Amino acid sequence: MGALSNIGPTAVAVWASAVVLFALIAVLRAVFKLNFSLLTVLALGLGIALSLVFDGQVDSLNLLGNIYINLITALVAPLIFVSIISSITYVGSLKKLRSIGLRSVGWLLLTNLIAIVMTLGVAIPLHIGSGVKLVDDESTAGFLTSQTAPLDQVILNFFPKNIVGDLSGNRVVPIIITATVLAIAIVSVGRQKDVSIVKRFFEQTKDVIYKAVGYVAELTPYAVVVLGATSTAATTSKADALLALLSILVLGFVLNIIQAFVVNGLLLKFVAHVSPLTFFKAVLPAQTTAFATQGSGAPRPRRQRPRGQRGGGAGRGRRTPPQRAAHRR
């Protein structure tokens, strides 16, 4: 039975309180121009407070939270697909693609290796997690069994067999592989034929999806109120079990912060020669949204204006590929 099928006085009060909090967020945003990241963090605090005030009886708000998550989920696969194709075709050189791809994979493996070594180096000496007992019952065993698969099946699942099914199932790795192969094919064909129409199609489709993602991302502070309230209710109902895992949770948060800001900051400073403060200031809204919603669908890339290109006139600065194609025609 759904949470809204049995509306009582408590549920009405919860919804009324949520509406008041939504109005407060709207005022802070429109009148006081509060920073998006601060507003999202504030919304998380308001959601936690809402759950505590009503003693965790906020199940009726699950509908709003699920609607937001569904909207984000619906856009993730198309966003990944067109973004990869657009980015690769924009580079336009297979030699550059090989160089960029190898370096990207190399740095991904390196940062993951650093994270693994750092975690083991801290967890093993401190005996983190010792004494924690997992619940051993049929439901838990069945769930764990359903999550396992033979290694060959795991590897096979990485590769696409039906792009429509992969997109509908949000299977990220097959989507990435399909988009990469298709983009490389477009670049290869572009050596002999004019594929500017295809490139423009994916570039403009990407812009449209970015705009749609932006609309959903604008709802993030309001959704975080709901998600914060419902998550807090679920957490407090299992407080005893969570206290036993508190050391693991704290270690996870601390090491994630070190990896995200200290390790990446050092790599940015000494390898990429980029100011860490400038970089983290630019990505903070996306990081805050991803943390608050526990997902990566809402944050979207913020397009930077190329050097030398100034606003106020289409003829100024460097032309984009669609503009160059239109100029040739």
Helices (H) and strands (E) in the chain, counts: 15, 0
Q: From CA 161, how far away is CA 167, in angstroms rounded? A: 11
Answer whether residue 329 is part of any domain. Answer: no
pLDDT tens profile 74-116:
998 999 999 999 989 988 888 888 888 888 888 888 999 999 9
The pLDDT value recorded for residue 85 is: 94
Amino acid symbol at 204:
Q
Residue for token digits 């989920």?
73
What is the rounded distance in angstroms from the CA atom of residue 112 to the CA atom of residue 226?
A: 33
CATH number for the domain including 20? Answer: 1.10.3860.10
Task: Compute the Cα dihedral for 17, 21, 26, 28 and give only its sign.
Answer: positive
Amino acid at 257: I
- pLDDT grade for 147, boundaries at 50, 70 and 90: low
pLDDT given for residue 318 in this prediction: 46
- Could you tell me if 226 and 64 are in contact, meaning their C-beta atoms sit under 8 angstroms apart? yes
Average pLDDT for 41-52: 92
Question: Is position 19 within any domain?
Answer: yes
Tokens standing for residue 6: 């049995």
Other C-beta atoms closer than 10 Å to the C-beta of 42 total 19
On the question of pLDDT at 282 being above 70, the answer is yes
Answer yes or no: is pLDDT of 323 > 70. no
Are 175 and 80 in contact by the 8 Å Cβ rule? The answer is yes
**Residue at 219 is within a domain:** yes
Rounded-to-integer distance, Cα 91 and Cα 203, Å: 12
Mean pLDDT of 250-258: 87
Let me know if residue 259 belongs to a domain: yes
Q: Is the pTM of this model over 0.85?
A: no
Q: How far apart, in whole angstroms, are the C-alpha atoms of residue 303 and residue 206? A: 12
Q: What does the buried/exposed string (b/e) look like for 162-194 if buried means 16 or more CB atoms within 10 Å of the residue's CB?
A: ebeebbeeebeebbbbbbbebbbebbeeeeeee
Question: Is residue 325 in some structural domain?
Answer: no
Domain contains 315: no
**Terminal CA-CA length for the chain:** 61
Q: How does residue 301 score in pLDDT terms, banded at 50, 70 and 90?
A: very low
More confident residue, 37 or 167: 167
Q: Which residue has the tokens 């570039």?
A: 203
Looking at the domain assignment, is residue 62 inside a domain? yes
Which is higher by pLDDT, 249 or 20?
A: 20
When divided into structural domains, the chain yields a total of: 1
Q: Check whether 120 has a pLDDT greater than 60.
A: yes
Domain coverage including residue 158: 9-301
Is the residue at 221 inside a domain? yes
